[in-house]
Structure 1
């Protein structure tokens, strides 16, 4: 595990070189980080959870994760004169130099690598769907090839230096996310319920149904994924004693979260209303008409996940390069960036091609990685640093989020892992 020595002055200078972002930068970076592949699986999660539990899970998750985002934004400058620009820095302050790294870094890496792996799969599948629609007479290619084509874009974009340098890509990605989400639920609404639509629980078998329900909770958790990079986003905003960074950051986050609600709730509700139990794990794959609009929506997904991949990859690139510079004494520069970042892209590409189980990956990573970082780890850090009075409102709210998050993590991780094992047993790899 990395130690406190991975934070040399050269890296701090690199990250603090550009603190010129405005509140709207926080908005579209948060939208890009939040509204991703997960929104397309929400109708599928609703199909396993049902109307009541599914709606409750969505609403509770929206409220809890907005609250935990507020906690992290407030903690960014909880020590006068110091900014915690990384999740791991905040963890070290709360739990100590060594324990903080052991608690935070593995969880954050799971979130970032999990997101990027899922985005590889999503980008490849949507590229394939786009080409099927616009060129129905073209020779079909293996899905693995499409994922590799999408990965090729990431090899190129990964050489951009930092989050500010991908601001235009992130802005385009945020616009695309709102656009394809709107197209998804509007197309579903125009389609209307399919023949013999069923909203009852799946009857394929009691044990299988239970595990699918547990995995669906992880799919909901995956949809709320912005916490892993929120401090890095806030680090791009300038801060003064009269106007600390938390003011524009919170403003941008609130706007982003309302945009998120406009994406998530209509897609989940209308998609489930249209297809019921027959909905695909990617709702766009279930839509056929109008062809030009569905093709455009799939292309928008591709553009969005191109940007989202980089938002989650940038903190990993920073960690990799810092380790190579401080531990292996490699000189910083273009060669180091090319090798380290290309190796990471190749790794996520390999995992995505090997295990392209969209819904199962969402369920597993949502439970194992996203639930801790988004639902209860910020609450634990808040309790450790702020030490609210026992049985005060703040103390009870944070402990309520912790209990809810831990239960959700255990359930969805078990369900997602079991479904990956089950689906892998009948899958032809690299087909």
Structure 2
């Protein structure tokens, strides 16, 4: 017996009408009813564990290696406190955001498939457009920044191998970043054809393991340095003002450090998209648990890398705790390889919301276009009854996107400073403002009530921190521009 339906509402109705009939029914193209969710889309199978893997892949970036420098600027008191405060704030607002996936009931209401759609549902179309612009500009910025960061590690692997053969410091081991950027771009072009974030679980799991590995290596190198007693000078307030380091330098470096800590917890812009992969019902509760697991895990690693790194290197802690280290060489090479593999996965996790937004808009704009909407089924060699679905628009659009991001990374190899700026300016609206505003709207919290004042105070505090961090990032950009940034660093 075949049942034909054309949309999600029909599917729900058919489920109710056929509740006690045979379980196998088909809809349209033969997809079983039991394989569809309440909105008529393929059943989501994500779990708390898979969501945690996606989040950790996005959260623990190579930026964790800069945390010893951050602690050095803030000191033993303010540094760890800043990590704990921003970890808690991010968890709190991420929990508010988890309840905005469905509307009006967070457990059984209509789904919001992405962040900007959730903002539009609760705050209106103008805020939705504003959120979309901020979100997608940041996602593109991460694409360029991840390319630059991955290439730095690729070059480090090459130089370690070269030094091993020719001796440490051999000038013939210098090489341009560009070939590595091209290689990284080609890899991302291929992986960008993974259709959606639900299909990235394996890649995210591998990337998560890689992030734990290189973070652990950083910790081990710090412990080894501490054990040998060859440590740098530390203090309660961090780098001290003195010859070669003025009051202004201290202020600017503190601002930059706050920005780096914020960037370390800037992952809310993809949380709704990750939640949309989870099996229902009760996605909000599962997502809150995934947030808790992820943030607790990452905060422990952040604290270990930051504090042990600072204890080892002191006030002279480098911007990357692995930079310039080649002993033991095999361990440093392994760490840099893990960074590259992790960033390959993180690149895809961050870009899937942007890919989906463009493809959804294009599908509606040119709904009769075969180029945009038709999918070709191709058998996978060696896998019986397994097929992949190829869409020509997806191939062209995603490939062009990666190429543009790679070319920009080649032109601006100092893009990490711009990434810090984007992270600082994106942290407040995406991680703080929109979740709080949606929560106030959903709960209908009265203006000037005690809860409203508390939420707006948190809002204002994070806004000030973001402005301060953005100022520090602007100074970093200006300093980079003063040193011929268009020449790739070796």
Indicate whether the TM-score tops 0.5: yes
Shift of 1:148: 2.6
Q: Deviations over 1:85-137 (max 9, x none)?
A: 2111111012212x122321112113312222221111111111112223434
Match of 1:190 in 2: 224
Q: Does 1:279 align with 2:326?
A: no
Question: Separation in 2 of the partners of 1:30 and 1:196?
Answer: 34
Cα distance change on mapping 1:429 and 1:359 into 2, 3 Å: closer
Question: Separation in 2 of the partners of 1:275 and 1:208?
Answer: 20
Superposition map of 1:8-407 within 5 A: 16-80=41-105, 81-97=109-125, 99-136=126-163, 137=165, 139-192=173-226, 194=230, 197=233, 199-201=238-240, 203-240=244-281, 244-327=282-365, 330=369, 331-333=372-374, 334-357=391-414, 360-390=417-447, 394-407=451-464
TM-score (norm 2): 0.79
Q: Deviations over 1:222-277 (max 9, x none)?
A: 1012211111111011223xxx1112222222111221122111111111121123
Question: Separation in 2 of the partners of 1:15 and 1:338?
Answer: 26
Cα distance change on mapping 1:248 and 1:324 into 2, 3 Å: same
Shift of 1:194: 4.5
Shift of 1:357: 2.6
Shift of 1:358: 6.2
Question: Separation in 2 of the partners of 1:201 and 1:110?
Answer: 37
Cα distance change on mapping 1:361 and 1:267 into 2, 3 Å: farther
Question: Separation in 1 of the partners of 2:300 and 2:319?
Answer: 20
Does the 8 Å contact 2:116/2:129 carry over to 1?
no
Q: Deviations over 1:382-419 (max 9, x none)?
A: 11222224565643442232011111121111220221
Q: 1:174 aligns to what SS in structure 2?
A: helix
Does the 8 Å contact 2:259/2:469 carry over to 1?
yes
Q: Deviations over 1:1-37 (max 9, x none)?
A: xxxxxxxx9xx99994241111111111111111112
Which has the higher mean CA deviation after the structures are superposed, 87-96 or 349-358? 349-358
Q: Does 1:408 align with 2:456?
A: no
Q: 2:111 aligns to what SS in structure 1?
A: coil
Q: 1:134 aligns to what SS in structure 2?
A: helix
Question: Separation in 2 of the partners of 1:200 and 1:127?
Answer: 31
Relative contact order (C-alpha < 8 Å, sep 6+): which is higher? 1
Q: Deviations over 1:201-230 (max 9, x none)?
A: 364333343223212211111101221111
TM-score (norm 1): 0.90
Does the 8 Å contact 2:231/2:312 carry over to 1?
no
Q: 1:285 aligns to what SS in structure 2?
A: coil
Q: 1:201 aligns to what SS in structure 2?
A: coil
Cα distance change on mapping 1:167 and 1:393 into 2, 3 Å: farther
Q: For structure 2, which runs of at least 5 residues remain unmatched after alignment?
A: 1-8, 10-36, 167-172, 375-390
Does the 8 Å contact 1:188/1:287 carry over to 2?
no
Q: For structure 1, which runs of at least 5 residues remain unmatched after alignment?
A: 1-8
Q: 2:102 aligns to what SS in structure 1?
A: coil
**Which one has the largest radius of gyration?**
2
Q: 1:142 aligns to what SS in structure 2?
A: coil
Does the 8 Å contact 2:413/2:486 carry over to 1?
no
Shift of 1:188: 0.9
Match of 2:385 in 1: none
Q: 1:260 aligns to what SS in structure 2?
A: helix
Does the 8 Å contact 1:110/1:369 carry over to 2?
no
